[in-house]
Amino acid sequence: MKAIGIDPGLSMTGFGIVESLDRGGKACDWGAIRTDSKAPIPVRLKTIYEGLKKILQKWDPGLLVMEEVFVLKQFPKAAIRLGEVRGIIYLAAEEMKIPVLEVKPTEVKSALTGSGRADKEQIKKAIQQLLKISVSINSSHAGDALALALTGLSRSKNFRW
Average pLDDT over residues 119-143: 89
Please give the pLDDT value at position 157. Answer: 76
DSSP state of 23: S
Please give the pLDDT value at position 159. Answer: 61
Please give the pLDDT value at position 143. Answer: 92
Please give the pLDDT value at position 48. Answer: 98
The DSSP-derived string for 46-70 is HHHHHHHHHHHHHH--SEEEEEPP-
Residue 20 has pLDDT above 70, yes or no: yes
Phi, psi of 96 (to 5 degrees): -95, 0
Q: pTM of the prediction?
A: 0.92
pLDDT in tens, 2-16: 999 999 999 999 999
Domain count, the chain: 1
DSSP state of 114: S
Is 136 inside any structural domain?
Answer: yes
Helix axes 76-95, 41-59, angle to 10 degrees: 40
Is 22 inside any structural domain?
Answer: yes
Is 161 inside any structural domain?
Answer: no
Is 54 inside any structural domain?
Answer: yes
Please give the pLDDT value at position 79. Answer: 86
Is 146 inside any structural domain?
Answer: yes
Is 160 inside any structural domain?
Answer: no
Is 65 inside any structural domain?
Answer: yes
Residue 23 sits in a domain of what CATH number? Answer: 3.30.420.10
Average pLDDT score, the chain: 92
Is 87 inside any structural domain?
Answer: yes
Domain range for 34: 2-155
pLDDT in tens, 79-127: 899 999 999 999 999 999 999 999 998 999 998 888 888 888 888 889 9
